[in-house]
């Protein structure tokens, strides 16, 4: 069943841009056209007041923003349901500083004072941010429109990316490196029964455990590319779901509960800890464990030549960025 704040893809952020007065549509367009930039996400934000404290708040489209957050945050469906229905999320540090209790409502003051329920703590991977609210609450609080932009450009070296984005961003913009480096040659670092901590670990260990020979970068690429959106507009209406965009019929055959990662219950198409190893298992059965069979396996995942080419190209970019 489709849920609110649906988890539709996995995006690994590389760079953040902060512009105190807001990023203009023209600046956002120029950033998106920087060579190597694949995804951009603009966010509202500002400094507000809560219980006598100043707090740094982001206003987001929950469905879009979820894909850019760390693994533990993105996989917590309850947090996203509450955020979508008018609650707020805070970092663990802000929770301690503000003395927040899950389920309790707190007044937040900006252009108006709005009482919001605290959904719970989450890790954002973005320094200096205390809280996140949904788009409707953002408008009521008067947050600055598009004060920040997240950028995914996996094939571009960080110093080059910063230089080229800085050249087209506004003169007052601050650039923040967000790419989380993780050794690409260290799979199986998670103890049995424990979930991986990062997406890179999840991709690496899913490939190593469920399809030895499958490059983890292919799983990363499939996670970022929404299966079928360009090849067949009917896929969305058919119900492709979750971070690896499985069709329910495919999931019924190949979806597993990843007990090796500490998961329990029925296989959950929305849970990356189940979905990523399930994708590895499916690709392996289609020949993905060998160099010769990999294109055919990707084609089996989504029957389109453009999709095979795009996955392989993005996989090469991830291999370059995380080597």
Give the pLDDT confidence of 207-220 residue by residue, as tens digits.
999 999 999 999 99
What pLDDT is attached to residue 186? 53
Kindly indicate the confidence band of residue 233, based on its pLDDT and cuts at 50, 70 and 90: very low
Which sign does the torsion angle of CA 102, 105, 106, 112 carry?
A: positive
Give the pLDDT confidence of 263-288 residue by residue, as tens digits.
999 999 999 999 999 999 999 999 99
Alpha helices in 85-198 (DSSP H): 92-98, 135-141, 158-168
pLDDT at 132 over 50: yes
Please tell me the pTM assigned to this model: 0.89
What is the maximal distance between C-alpha atoms in the chain? Answer: 62
Kindly indicate the confidence band of residue 232, based on its pLDDT and cuts at 50, 70 and 90: very low
Residue-range domain boundaries for the chain: 15-177, 199-321
DSSP state of 241: B
Q: How far apart are CA 298 and CA 268, in angstroms?
A: 22
CA–CA distance from 162 to each of 28, 173, 301 (Å)?
15, 11, 34
Q: What integer is the mean pLDDT of 231-257?
A: 78
**Residue of 105 and 197 predicted with greater confidence:** 105
Q: How far apart are CA 243 and CA 34, in angstroms?
A: 26
Question: For the structural domain made of 15-177, what CATH number should be given?
Answer: 2.40.70
Which residues touch 103 (CB under 8 Å, ≥6 apart)?
117, 118
pLDDT at 171 over 60: yes
What pLDDT is attached to residue 230? 42
């Amino acid at each position: 069943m489709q849920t609110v704040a649906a988890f539709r893809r996995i995006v690994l952020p590389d760079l953040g841009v902060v512009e105190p007065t807001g990023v203009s549509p023209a600046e956002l367009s120029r950033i998106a056209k920087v060579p190597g930039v694949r995804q951009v996400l603009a966010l509202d934000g500002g400094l507000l007041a809560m219980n006598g404290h100043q707090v740094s708040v982001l206003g987001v489209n929950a469905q879009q923003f979820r894909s850019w957050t760390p693994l533990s945050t993105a996989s917590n469906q309850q947090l996203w349901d509450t955020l979508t229905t008018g609650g707020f999320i805070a970092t663990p540090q802000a929770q301690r500083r503000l003395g927040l209790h899950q389920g309790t409502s707190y007044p937040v003051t900006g252009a108006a004072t709005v009482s919001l329920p605290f959904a719970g703590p989450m890790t954002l991977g973005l320094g200096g941010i205390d809280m996140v609210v949904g788009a409707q609450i953002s408008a009521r609080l008067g947050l600055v429109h598009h004060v920040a932009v997240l950028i995914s450009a996996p094939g571009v070296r960080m110093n080059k990316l910063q230089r080229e984005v800085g050249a087209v961003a506004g003169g007052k913009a601050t650039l923040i490196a967000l790419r989380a480096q993780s050794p690409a040659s260290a799979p199986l670092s998670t103890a049995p029964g424990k979930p991986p901590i990062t997406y890179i670990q999840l991709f690496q260990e899913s490939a190593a455990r469920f399809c030895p020979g499958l490059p983890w970068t292919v799983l990363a690429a499939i996670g970022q590319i929404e299966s079928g959106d360009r090849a067949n507009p009917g896929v969305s209406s058919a119900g492709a779901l979750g971070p690896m965009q499985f069709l329910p019929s495919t999931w019924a055959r190949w979806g597993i509960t990843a007990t090796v990662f500490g998961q329990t219950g029925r296989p959950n198409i929305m849970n990356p800890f189940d979905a990523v190893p399930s994708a590895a298992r499916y690709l392996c059965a289609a020949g993905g464990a060998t160099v010769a069979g990999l294109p055919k396996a990707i084609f089996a995942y989504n029957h389109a030549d453009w999709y095979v080419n795009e996955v392989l190209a993005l996989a090469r970019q991830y291999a370059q960025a995380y080597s």
